[in-house]
Amino acid sequence: MSADATVSVPRLDHVGRVTQGRVLASEWTKLRSLRSNRLSLLAAAVLTIGFPILFAWIVGSRWEQMTPLERARRQPLDVALSGVGIAHIVIGVLGVTVVTSEYSTGLIRATFCAVPKRLPVLWAKAVDFALVSFAAILPAVVIAFFSSQAVLNRHHQILQISFTHSGVARCVVGAAVYVMLSGVFALALGAIVRGTAGGIALFAAIFFVIPPLVDVLPASWSNAIGPYLPSSAGRSMVLLTHGPHDLSPGSGAALLCGYVALALSLAAVLLVRRDT
């Protein structure tokens, strides 16, 4: 090839603008195309269903051997929602890796070349992940409720409660919302730290390390701080009855949404200011 040779690039028939809708579509393609993402969502759904069925079978088989105090501590929704905590961990870890995996592979540079303004990418990731995690967990929680109730019904109809009972539907839906919001919060943490190990460690510290540490504080301090932690705010959404120091379901949901908004805002500021 001579030095004067030139390479002609054919023009596209159509050149479109970068819109939020198109970024949503592209991020959805990336989210669903990875096998690990699909397996993680499947695992979260299976665990959400499997743990309550197993827990219901254990409780039912041991009911006659339990003391009156042990029986009094068992609540129907505690059985039905026993898998939510595991799903919460799986979705949280997945939320972190949805962002950090692009930084580790360098794909984030291509993403920001396609979307120079950057922020539409963050909003698209958050919206897509929120929708897909909620769509995966809500049916699983509903199935877990009816499955665990069916298992318990075979053991002298213990711990029976109707889905139409006051507050039950709110707790079941609230469990899915709690997992979804926690996942988006974890996604924002991943965007903030840009590292998988750091993002997962920060998520674990906020939801699983700080709450037990607060519990060992003097009662006056614990009662003043504990209810306003992200984990406590989310848990208030899935409690059928609330203690004197618990937030109401609406207040807990609003507070957790505030934490998510704050984390996304910080991620947005850092995303614009930092180099990729």
Which pLDDT tens digit goes with each residue over 199-242? Answer: 999 999 999 999 999 989 888 889 899 999 999 999 999 988 77
Percentages helix, strand, coil for the chain (3-state, rounded to 5) are 75, 0, 25
| pLDDT reading at 12 higher than 70 | no
Can you tell me the mean pLDDT for 59-69? 78
What is the residue range of 244's domain?
Answer: 20-273
Strands (E), the chain: none
The answer for residues whose C-beta is within 8 angstroms of residue 141's C-beta and 6 or more apart is 48, 80, 81, 84, 172, 173, 175, 176
| pLDDT reading at 52 higher than 90 | yes
Q: Answer whether residue 257 is part of any domain.
A: yes
Q: 153 pLDDT band (50/70/90 cuts)?
A: confident
Residue 1 is predicted with a pLDDT of 45
Residue 169 is predicted with a pLDDT of 93
Q: Answer whether residue 11 is part of any domain.
A: no
pTM of the predicted structure, to 2 decimals: 0.89
Q: Answer whether residue 108 is part of any domain.
A: yes
How far apart CA 59 and CA 63 sit, in angstroms, is 6
- Closest alpha carbon to 234 in 263, 196, 209, 206: 206
Q: Answer whether residue 9 is part of any domain.
A: no
Residue 9 is predicted with a pLDDT of 47
Distance in Å from the first CA to the final CA of the chain: 36
Q: Answer whether residue 13 is part of any domain.
A: no
Q: Answer whether residue 92 is part of any domain.
A: yes
Q: Answer whether residue 221 is part of any domain.
A: yes
Can you tell me the mean pLDDT for 1-29? 68
Q: 267 pLDDT band (50/70/90 cuts)?
A: very high
Domain count along the chain: 1
How far apart CA 24 and CA 205 sit, in angstroms, is 30
Which pLDDT tens digit goes with each residue over 107-129? Answer: 888 888 888 888 999 999 999 99
Q: Are 196 and 104 in contact (CB under 8 A)?
A: yes
